[in-house]
C-alpha cells in the first residue's frame, strides 16, 4: 500500500492512521539569483520520510515548487510540476497543468496546495499559489512578487499573515528572511494538530540554492527531520541556522583585507579599508535582524555603537556598492555600565 501524506501542514496518512498539516514558503532574491524554501509540519514519523523537506524541490537559477496537502509518496505531482517548469512553463501554467493532470491516486486535485516562484527569461520574478477547496481549514495562501506562502489545518489566517509580515520586514540574505518567515509561525498549534504538544510543528527545514549550484547540492540545507515530543523544531532549526551563519562568516573573513576591530568592542568599532572604496556596513543580531547600518568612506573609520544597548554577539557584513559581500564575521560587544 502506498504511503500518503496530507501536507499543507503535513497530513501523513499511513498504516499508522495519522493526519497532520504543513505551512511553507518559497521565495527568490532578484539581486543574487538565489532561490529558497522553508517549511514546517506536525506529523509523527516524519523522520521515516526524511522530514517535511520532501514537499519542496528547486531548480537552481530557475524556480521552486512546494507541494502540500494530500500528496503521494513518491511525490509524483511535485515531480511533474518540476518537469513542467524545466520545460519552460510559468508558475501559473504549472498550476494549471497540475490541476488538469493530477497524478496522485489519493484524493483529488481539490485536496492539493502549491506555492511556486521562478525567474522568467528576462530575470524577472514570478509567483503563483493554489489552495484546493477541499484542503482542510484553515487553508490559504499569500503571494507577492517574489514569494508564495501557503498552509492548511492552521490555527487561522494570522499564521500566514505573520509569516508574510516577518518575511517582508526582515533584513539580510534570502536565507535570513526565510528563517524569519518561519519564526512568524513559531507559536503553539500553528500547525493546529501540534497544539496539545505546545509546539508549532514536529519537523522543519530551510534550503537555499545559489544560481550556479548543482541540483541536489544547495548552498544551504538545514533539516530537522523530526523533533522530540514537546521540542519546538523551528527553535532547533534556528540553532542550526545560527551555527551555520557563524561558521560561514568566519570562513569569509579569512579572505578579506578589510579589518574590523577591536573585538570585543565597547562603544566604538573601527573599520580599516585599505582600498578606500565606499562600502556599506550592516550589523545584525543572531536572529538576522538589522540593528545598525553605516556607510564606510575611508580608512580607520570609527563607528559609534551607542545604538547597541546590550552586551552580546552581533554579526557584521561589509558590502560594496553592488551588494557583494567583501567581508563578514562575528563581533562581541561589551557595553559599559
Q: What is the pLDDT at residue 315?
A: 83
> Is 253 a domain residue?
no
Do residues 62 and 82 lie in contact, with contact meaning Cβ atoms separated by under 8 Å?
Answer: no
> Is 252 a domain residue?
no
> Over 70: is that where the pLDDT of 10 sits?
no
Residues 213, 289: one domain? no
Q: What is the pLDDT at residue 21?
A: 58
Express each pLDDT in 281-321 by its tens digit.
888 877 667 788 888 876 678 889 888 888 888 888 888 77
Total number of domains constituting the chain: 2
> Per-residue b/e over 165-190, b at no fewer than 16 CB within 10 Å?
ebbeebebbbbbbbbbbbbbbbbebb
Residues 266, 201: one domain? no
Residues 105, 150: one domain? yes
Between helix 76-86 and helix 91-100 the angle, nearest 10°, is: 140
Residues 264, 137: one domain? no
Q: What is the pLDDT at residue 316?
A: 82
For the segment 266-273, the average pLDDT, to the nearest whole number, is: 84
| Among candidate residues 221, 246, 271, the one where a domain is terminated | 246
> Over 90: is that where the pLDDT of 83 sits?
yes
- Average predicted confidence (pLDDT) for the chain: 85
Q: Which domain holds residue 169?
A: 4-246
Q: What is the pLDDT at residue 99?
A: 98
Express each pLDDT in 219-261 by its tens digit.
899 999 998 888 999 999 998 888 787 766 555 554 567 788 8
> Over 70: is that where the pLDDT of 1 sits?
no
> Is 294 a domain residue?
yes
| Sequence-separated contacts (24+) of 293-296 with Cβ below 8 Å | 296/271
Q: What is the pLDDT at residue 282?
A: 86
DSSP class per residue in 264-295: SBSSEEEEE-TT---EEEEEE-TTS-EEEEEE
> Over 90: is that where the pLDDT of 115 sits?
yes
CATH number at residue 277: 2.60.40.10
Q: Between the CA of residue 113 and those of 82, 99, 120, 191, 298, what are the distances in Å? A: 15, 10, 22, 15, 52
For the segment 182-187, the average pLDDT, to the nearest whole number, is: 95
> Is 296 a domain residue?
yes
Residues 300, 194: one domain? no
Do residues 170 and 177 lie in contact, with contact meaning Cβ atoms separated by under 8 Å?
Answer: yes
Residues 177, 321: one domain? no
CATH number at residue 122: 3.60.20.10
For the segment 117-143, the average pLDDT, to the nearest whole number, is: 95
> Is 314 a domain residue?
yes
Q: What is the pLDDT at residue 222?
A: 93
For the segment 98-110, the average pLDDT, to the nearest whole number, is: 94
Amino acid at each position: 500500500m502506498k504511503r500518503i501524506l496530507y501536507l499543507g501542514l503535513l497530513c501523513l496518512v499511513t498504516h499508522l492512521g495519522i493526519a497532520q498539516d504543513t505551512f511553507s514558503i518559497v521565495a527568490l532574491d532578484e539581486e543574487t539569483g538565489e532561490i529558497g524554501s522553508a517549511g514546517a509540519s506536525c506529523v509523527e514519523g516524519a523522520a521515516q520520510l526524511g522530514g517535511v523537506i520532501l514537499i519542496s524541490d528547486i531548480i537552481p537559477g530557475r524556480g521552486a515548487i512546494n507541494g502540500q496537502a494530500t500528496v503521494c509518496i513518491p511525490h509524483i505531482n511535485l515531480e511533474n510540476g518540476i518537469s513542467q517548469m524545466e520545460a519552460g512553463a510559468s508558475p501559473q501554467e504549472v498550476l494549471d497543468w497540475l490541476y488538469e493532470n493530477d497524478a496522485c491516486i489519493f484524493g483529488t486535485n481539490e485536496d492539493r496546495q502549491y506555492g511556486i516562484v521562478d525567474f522568467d527569461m528576462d530575470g524577472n520574478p514570478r509567483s503563483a499559489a493554489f489552495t484546493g477547496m477541499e484542503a482542510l481549514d484553515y487553508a490559504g495562501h499569500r503571494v507577492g512578487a517574489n514569494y508564495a506562502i501557503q498552509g492548511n489545518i492552521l490555527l487561522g489566517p494570522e499564521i500566514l499573515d505573520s509569516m508574510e509580515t516577518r518575511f517582508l520586514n526582515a533584513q539580510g540574505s534570502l536565507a535570513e528572511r526565510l528563517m524569519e518567515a518561519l519564526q512568524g509561525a513559531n507559536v503553539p498549534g500553528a500547525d493546529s494538530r501540534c497544539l496539545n504538544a505546545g509546539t508549532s510543528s514536529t519537523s522543519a527545514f530551510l534550503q537555499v540554492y545559489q544560481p550556479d549550484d548543482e541540483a541536489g547540492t544547495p548552498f544551504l540545507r538545514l533539516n530537522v527531520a523530526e523533533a522530540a515530543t514537546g521540542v519546538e523544531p523551528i527553535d532547533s532549526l534556528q540553532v542550526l541556522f545560527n551555527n551555520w551563519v557563524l561558521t560561514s562568516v568566519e570562513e569569509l573573513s579569512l579572505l578579506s583585507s578589510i579589518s574590523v576591530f577591536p573585538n570585543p568592542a565597547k562603544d566604538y568599532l573601527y573599520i580599516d579599508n585599505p582600498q578606500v572604496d565606499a562600502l556599506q556596513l550592516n550589523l545584525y543580531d543572531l536572529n538576522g535582524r538589522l540593528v545598525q547600518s553605516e556607510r564606510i568612506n575611508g580608512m580607520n573609520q570609527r563607528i559609534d555603537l551607542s545604538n547597541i544597548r546590550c552586551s552580546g554577539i552581533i554579526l557584521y557584513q561589509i558590502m560594496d556598492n553592488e551588494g557583494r559581500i567583501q567581508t563578514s564575521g562575528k563581533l562581541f560587544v561589551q557595553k559599559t555600565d
